């Protein structure tokens, strides 16, 4: 079963809705043009007791998997083109994270078309809107 299989896409969408996360951060970094690094992620989390998880996510064809010290597998897709490909294929099957997926795709498209500081500020506002969709103990709004 591959990412081109409707059954696998539906399975991944359910997994993402339940034990996954779609998020993007604007990390302060003075080496970037406007002082922030835009870091998008799609991540899945699973107990290490689920021995079939690494083999299952390898079928996606990209992303990275790691076993955290707390006994949780974390599978992360962080390359923008891979996120776009993944969400484009899986989004039709999402239920709970449909809005996060739509907004992530919009943010990544907008990011590719940044030409000035005003465009970048609009992007940061979209990222802040995105953050409002997700639960966060450390939520901060930029001005």
Tens digit of each residue's pLDDT (9 = 90 or more) over 77-117:
999 999 999 999 999 999 999 999 999 999 999 999 898 99
Alpha carbon distance 116, 4 (integer Å): 37
- Decide if pLDDT at 143 tops 50: no
Return the CATH architecture of domain 6-133.
Answer: Roll (3.10)
Return the exposure string of 108-133: e unless at least 16 CB atoms fall within 10 Å of the residue's CB, then b: bebbeebeeeeebeebbebbeebbee
Instruction: Please give the structure tokens belonging to residue 15.
Output: 């997994």
Among this protein's residues, is 18 annotated catalytic?
Answer: yes
- Decide if pLDDT at 1 tops 80: no
The pLDDT of residue 86 is 97
pLDDT > 90: percent of the chain = 71
Among this protein's residues, is 63 annotated catalytic?
Answer: no
Domain map (residue ranges) of the chain: 6-133
Out of 18, 35, 61, 132, the active site residue is: 18
């Amino acid at each position: 079963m591959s990412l081109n299989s409707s059954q696998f896409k539906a399975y991944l969408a359910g997994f993402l809705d339940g034990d996954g996360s779609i998020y993007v951060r604007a990390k302060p970094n003075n080496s970037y043009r406007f002082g922030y690094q835009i870091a998008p992620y799609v991540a899945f989390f699973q107990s290490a007791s689920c021995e079939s998880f690494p083999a299952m996510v390898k079928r996606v064809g990209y992303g990275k998997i790691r076993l955290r010290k707390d006994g949780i597998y974390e599978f992360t897709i962080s390359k923008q083109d891979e996120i776009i490909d993944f969400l484009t294929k899986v989004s039709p099957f999402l239920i709970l994270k449909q809005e996060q997926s739509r907004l992530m795709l919009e943010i990544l498209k907008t990011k590719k078309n940044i030409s000035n500081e005003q465009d970048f500020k609009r992007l940061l506002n979209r990222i802040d809107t995105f953050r409002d969709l997700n639960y966060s103990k450390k939520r901060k709004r930029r001005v």
